[in-house]
Amino acid sequence: MPSVFRLVRTWALIGALALVAGITLTPQSTIAAMLAWQAPGKPTGVIVNAPPPVSAPATPNTPSPAASATSVSINPTLSWQASGATTYDVKFGTSNTPPTVSTGQAGASYTPATLANSTTYYWQIVAINAYGSTTGPLWSFTTVASGGGGGCTVTSNGSQSDTQAKITAASSGDTVCLPSGTFAWASGVTVSNPVTVQGSSGGKIEGNSTSSVAIGTGTKAFTTQAGLDWTAGEVVRAIHIRTGDSMTGTVTSYSSTTLTLNITSTSGTGTKNLWVFEQDGATTLQYSGSGVMWDVSKTGAGLIKIGQFDVQRTSGLGRMFQLTGTGTFVAHDMRIANGSPNTTVFYFVSNGGLVQRVDAMTDYNWPSGLGGASQYTGSFVDVQWGALNSTWQSPHSLGTADTNGTGNIYVENNDVIGFGLEGFDCSDNCRLVVRYNRFTHTAFTSHGPDTGTSGLRNLEIYNNVWRFQPDNAGNCDNTLVMDYLLNIRGGLAVITDNEIDDLGGSCLGAKDEIKYQLQAMWRNAGPWACWNGGYPLPHQQGRDYVSGAETTVGNYHWSNTGAGSQTPSLNQYGPNECGASGSGQVLSTYIQSGRDYIVGTARPSYTKYTYPHPLGGS
């Protein structure tokens, strides 16, 4: 009898096929198979092949560089993911219908030839298997501007020691590149020569939400803000900003103010209602040292530019960036995860510099409860130029009075989360411009002529959004203690075109959004301790240096919007440390509307400085 191939289910025969040499059997929905034969025929062997796929590959996702990334190296390696794929076709070019540059490749990465600076490139992946193919979304990125270090002069291996060695050996204008990957640093590096240091790409934080969403996989929709930089296919992590619980997945859609994610992995449980959205960069530095991570001495000539990587502060309290000297410095395109509280990200010991597209979130573990003192969870930018008073003996640098954009420190296009009352500390001789940023649970603090040597010099705050998200569901541990959003304690200021939230809620109660305070009359500290010389206090709010003398010109607040009050509240310092000289004075003698601050009227002859800042690009 001929051999037969009997198909079985639970060992019951359900069919027989003639076994002929070379026969190929059609897959059956069976649990098992049994080969039986009767003499004289006898099979010599059976080869079982895996069944072909029953669906096309998943849509390509997780692009690197990230979708719409900027300041990308001109020597990037493109990478992606697509489960179920066996080969890929790659489309790449400067047209939004890019040509195919690689077909049938097995690996999920592609390295193009050196690219042009300041150019937008488009790319698309076709994932293929035996069943069919799936074309991914069209992604794009823009390369770094010319002169910004797009081409790597030398590449370190990512370690602290090799990166320091490469920086030290670099010549003026060189670019030291850090590769993709995660690198642990236990100590920092110093930079004193005008070079560029850059990673493969940095991550971002983009938007927030108070939507109540249960942690879990599948489709999750959040109400966010309009105009965020999220596109379909990008990998996003939604983080609860109090606990750090998170959900990670890809963007299904983003339209108007609705961000929809397909969540594939989670950390934590429960329903949360305070979310921010972030994305990892390709290069990550994990820092555990106690000293300064990037100690930058700005030289008089040339540009020091650092960016395109993520920093995770895993422990320790040292500053992440310390900037000294009078040269030019740019920090750009980074995501800062500050896992250690009370750490300063950028500490300036002189004016001049640009912080652009550096998104930062501080430690999630805020002190519990509302019964303690106001909470400080670190500083994003701290300016302390205490050794010099000449800045108060020279003209202001507001707007276009900073003719070449290097007299002030510019902080623009950053998303800053959870830094509490001292997200900024603009102190002695500080000249600072804060513009086009989004702040959540992050306040602006300044110091006047009281605890420092001279107080801030001039300040511009415009086109920012301040958001405060109280937990009105009864869990006050989810509400960071905030006493103000802007605290102006001296100097000359322009505050315009901002959106400022109401600071309060059922946990905090009513608070002042904008606070004006002088301390020297009641505080026994600083160069004018226990001041009793009458109005004006030197370097107080609204004071400027004009025609060789200090005079009052007033601070200007106009065109600000939002649910919060746009009019400063006067706050008298206490307790009185100055005895009788303090008890006889009132704050309204020193700060008056229409004289020291003006609300609703634009500052005469004022023009904002060029945006975006020319040193950083678009």
Bridge-based pairing state of the strands 258-267 and 246-255: antiparallel
Whether the upstream peptide bond of residue 65 has omega within 30° of 0, thus cis, is yes
Distance between CA atoms of residues 74 and 308, nearest Å: 12
CATH class of the structural domain 204-279: mainly beta
All residue ranges of the chain with pLDDT < 70 are 1-51, 145-150, 300, 339-342, 363-377, 387-389, 471-478, 617-618
Contact 351, 431 (CB under 8 A): yes
Q: Which tokens sit at 189? A: 């590096």
pLDDT the model gives residue 453: 84
CATH class of the structural domain 61-143: mainly beta
347 beta partners: 322, 382
pLDDT the model gives residue 145: 67
Distance between CA atoms of residues 610 and 459, nearest Å: 16
All CATH 2.60.40.10 domain ranges in the chain, comma separated: 61-143
Per residue in 11-52, pLDDT tens? 444 455 555 555 555 554 444 445 555 545 555 555 555 567
All CATH 2.40.10 domain ranges in the chain, comma separated: 204-279
pLDDT the model gives residue 581: 94
Q: How many Cα atoms are found within 13 Å in the side-chain-facing hemisphere of 300?
A: 0
Q: How many Cα atoms are found within 13 Å in the side-chain-facing hemisphere of 276?
A: 26
pTM, two decimals, is 0.78
Contact 585, 532 (CB under 8 A): yes
362 beta partners: none
Buried/exposed code over 116-148 (b: 16+ C-beta within 10 A; e: otherwise): ebbbebbbbbbbbbeeeebebbbbbbbbbbeeb
pLDDT the model gives residue 20: 54
Q: Which tokens sit at 220? A: 């999750």
Q: Which of 404, 394, 414, 533 is nearest to 466 (CA)?
A: 414
Q: Which tokens sit at 567? A: 């009019």
Distance between CA atoms of residues 320 and 304, nearest Å: 16
DSSP code string of 43-88:
------PPPPPSSPPPPPEEEESPTTEEEE-SS--EEEE-TT-SEE
Q: How far apart are the first and last CA of the chain?
A: 81
pLDDT the model gives residue 362: 80
Q: Which of 363, 352, 464 is nearest to 410 (CA)?
A: 352
Distance between CA atoms of residues 473 and 451, nearest Å: 39
Distance between CA atoms of residues 178 and 151, nearest Å: 12
Distance between CA atoms of residues 369 and 475, nearest Å: 9
pLDDT the model gives residue 71: 73
Which residue carries 């961000």 as its tokens? 259
Q: Which of 242, 244, 380 is nearest to 311 (CA)?
A: 380
Contacts for 366-369: CB closer than 8 Å, 24+ residues apart = 366/242, 366/418, 366/420, 366/477, 366/480, 367/481, 368/477, 369/476, 369/477
Rounded to the nearest angstrom, the gap between the alpha carbon of residue 342 and the centroid of all alpha carbons in its chain is 18
Q: Which residues contact 24 (CB under 8 A, 6 or more apart)?
A: none
pLDDT the model gives residue 373: 40
Burial of 77 (0-12, 13-18, 19+ CB in 10 A): middle
pLDDT the model gives residue 147: 45
Largest CA distance in the chain: 121
Per residue in 469-523, pLDDT tens? 776 555 666 677 788 999 999 999 999 999 999 988 777 788 999 999 999 999 9
3-state DSSP assignment of residue 164? helix
pLDDT the model gives residue 149: 43
pLDDT the model gives residue 327: 84
Q: What are the two backbone dihedrals, phi and then psi, of residue 477, each rounded to the nearest 5 degrees? A: -65, -20
pLDDT the model gives residue 343: 81
Q: What are the two backbone dihedrals, phi and then psi, of residue 165, each rounded to the nearest 5 degrees? A: -65, -40
